[in-house]
């Protein structure tokens, strides 16, 4: 399998202070890669580095991030903006909450798509309804006509995830897309992302603290601590038989449900 996105010995600093040290990994075509690890270890920073969202103090100090033959940190802002959306899309923790409350969901999605491709509103509605249907939303037309507060928080988060797919990106970068959700909506969001991969062959990087989500979704896992990769490999292997002490500690701390008395 070919690498679609490749981090090659990447170091990142904020205001001259290094926070990512010499990190290399790749995302293969159609793969779901989970990134887990310590709070503050640099997981969000890795995604922001790829998207050019490090902010004024942040720089990729060393290394390359390759996507389709282009080194992302070298690209001009304008070129990177053209790439994001149709190629690389990002989903945030509060994707659902980022909709404006006083305009319909459909109008806002149309605007987002129109920023990248010229498309008539009726064409857009057809396209959006097809996508939502494929992603198993009941009554797609009604969702597009709804205002955000007519839909539940969980439904909005699912719409937020679906919205990232409107431009049919080849890579989805998701930063804790499920951690604000109750477990039943979380399960639906995980199923939605799996369906996206199945239908569109999208490659996904998911950053999460929820080991259950990683277990349910990821093919491979990268474990981060202090700005470095401590362990990476096949998801089941890393989660069931962690080789490194840090990963072992992490797995031992996962809260487990006691479903039977005395269990």
Ligand X SMILES: Nc1ncnc2c1ncn2[C@@H]1O[C@H](COP(=O)(O)OP(=O)(O)O)[C@@H](O)[C@H]1O
Task: By CB under 8 A, name the binding residues for other proteins.
Answer: 14, 36-40, 44, 55, 57, 93-94, 149, 152-154, 157, 176, 179-187, 190, 209-213, 215-216, 249-250, 253-261
Which 110-149 residues touch ligand X, going by CB under 6 A?
Answer: 149
Question: Which is nearer to other proteins, 125 or 220 (by Cβ)?
Answer: 220
Helices (H), 69-225: 77-83, 105-114, 121-134, 140-145, 153-163, 183-200, 211-217
Q: How far apart are the first and last CA of the chain?
A: 42
- Selected from 21, 45, 169, 247, the binder of ligand ATP by CB under 6 A is 45
> Of ligand X, Mg ion, ligand ATP, none, which one sits near residue 45, judging by CB under 5 to 8 A according to partner kind?
ligand ATP
- Selected from 86, 153, 212, 233, the binder of ligand X by CB under 6 A is 153
Q: Is 59 in the site for ligand ATP (CB under 6 A)?
A: no
**Helices and strands, number each (H, E), in the chain:** 10, 10
Q: Side-chain half-sphere of 151: how many Cα atoms within 13 Å?
A: 30
- Report yes or no: 43 and 18 within 8 Å, Cβ to Cβ: no
Q: Is 26 in the site for Mg ion (CB under 5 A)?
A: no
Binding site for ligand ATP (CB under 6 A): 14-15, 19, 39-45, 55, 57-58
């Amino acid at each position: 399998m070919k690498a679609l996105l490749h981090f090659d010995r990447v170091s990142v600093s904020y205001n001259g202070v290094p926070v990512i040290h010499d990190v290399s990994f790749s995302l293969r075509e159609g793969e779901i890669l989970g990134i887990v690890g310590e709070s503050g270890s640099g997981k969000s920073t890795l995604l922001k580095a790829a998207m050019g969202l490090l902010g004024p103090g942040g720089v990729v100090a060393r290394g390359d991030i390759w996507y389709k033959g282009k080194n992302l940190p070298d690209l001009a802002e304008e070129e990177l903006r053209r790439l994001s959306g149709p190629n690389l899309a990002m989903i945030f923790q509060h994707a659902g909450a980022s909709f404006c409350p006083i305009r319909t969901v459909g109008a806002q999605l149309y605007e987002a798509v129109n920023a990248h491709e010229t498309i008539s509103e009726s064409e857009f509605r057809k396209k959006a309804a097809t996508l939502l249907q494929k992603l198993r939303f009941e009554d797609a037309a009604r969702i597009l006509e709804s205002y955000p507060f007519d839909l539940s928080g969980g439904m909005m988060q699912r719409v937020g995830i679906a919205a990232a797919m409107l431009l049919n990106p080849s890579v989805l970068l998701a930063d804790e897309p499920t951690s604000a959700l109750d477990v039943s909506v979380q399960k639906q969001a995980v199923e939605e992302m799996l369906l996206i991969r199945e239908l569109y062959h999208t490659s996904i990087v998911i950053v999460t603290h929820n080991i259950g989500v990683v277990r349910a979704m990821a093919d491979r896992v990268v474990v981060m601590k202090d700005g470095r990769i401590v362990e990476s490999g096949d998801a089941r292997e890393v989660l069931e038989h962690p080789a490194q002490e840090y990963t072992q500690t992490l797995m031992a701390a996962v809260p487990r449900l006691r479903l039977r008395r005395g269990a």
